[in-house]
Amino acid sequence: MKRNYSLFFITSIFIIGFMLFNERMYDPLPTEIKNLEEEQITYNEKLITAQILAEQLDHVYTVFERNMAFKNDKSLKEVASIEFLNTLTDLLSDLEITVQHIKPGRKEERDLYTYIPYNLEIKCTYDKFGKFVTELEKSERLISIDSFILNNGLERLTLSKNPEELMNQVVEMQISTVALNKKRG
């Protein structure tokens, strides 16, 4: 029993001695190097962020360029409205959505923005409607979906004899294009 205690005591002294020798002989990284490593990590994060922003700046510039209008230049706003209508009808035909009604509204100028509303009535499935909204979000134009109404009442369900008719929904939407006004001078 004494032999076990003495062996345990000698082993403990040996381990403690080894740890002290190792600590003094091999000094851990100086605090300056640790601080530099932490600083390098933050700079790498900033570099990655800057690279991501640089890649996306072209898209941001295009969005501003496509949506900037001078305060007094009404012809540019009208051309943009016609271009938007062409783009909108192309998008609707690409998605095979039936257009029942499109009507541009009156321009509203509010502070730094010009809103041009459009009333739409379309007939499509839920899936195609979701794709349409997604494509509107992807557009280079600033587009606001002001409201939409799905005509999906109980009477529609009871009056419909063909199940395929139920798949297509009549959707009434009001969307607006938003132009950023810039004063000349």
CA-wise closest residue to 49 among 57, 37, 60, 38: 57
Both 96 and 49 in a single domain?
Answer: no
Both 50 and 87 in a single domain?
Answer: no
Both 97 and 173 in a single domain?
Answer: yes
Task: Convert the pLDDT of each residue in 19-40 to its tens digit.
Answer: 888 777 766 667 777 788 888 8
Type of residue numbered 81: S
**Phi, psi (rounded to 5 degrees) for 149:** -130, 125
Domain boundary residue, one of 63, 90, 113: 63
Quick check: helix, strand or coil at residue 82?
A: helix
pTM of the prediction? 0.59
CATH for 172: 3.30.70.60
The CA-atom distances, in angstroms, between 84 and each of 29, 61, 67 are: 63, 19, 11
Both 171 and 110 in a single domain?
Answer: yes
Both 119 and 41 in a single domain?
Answer: no
**Average pLDDT of the segment spanning 83-110:** 89
Q: Are strands 169-182 and 113-124 parallel, antiparallel or unpaired?
A: antiparallel
Domain holding 126, by residue range, is 71-182
Q: Which two tokens stand for residue 178?
A: 């938003």
Task: Convert the pLDDT of each residue in 116-125 to its tens digit.
Answer: 899 999 998 8
Task: Convert the pLDDT of each residue in 131-171 to its tens digit.
Answer: 999 999 888 888 889 999 987 766 666 677 777 777 788 89
The CA-atom distances, in angstroms, between 108 and each of 75, 151, 180 are: 15, 28, 12
Both 55 and 129 in a single domain?
Answer: no
Contact assessment for residue 116 and residue 76, using Cβ atoms and an 8 Å cutoff: no
- Total structural domains within the chain: 2
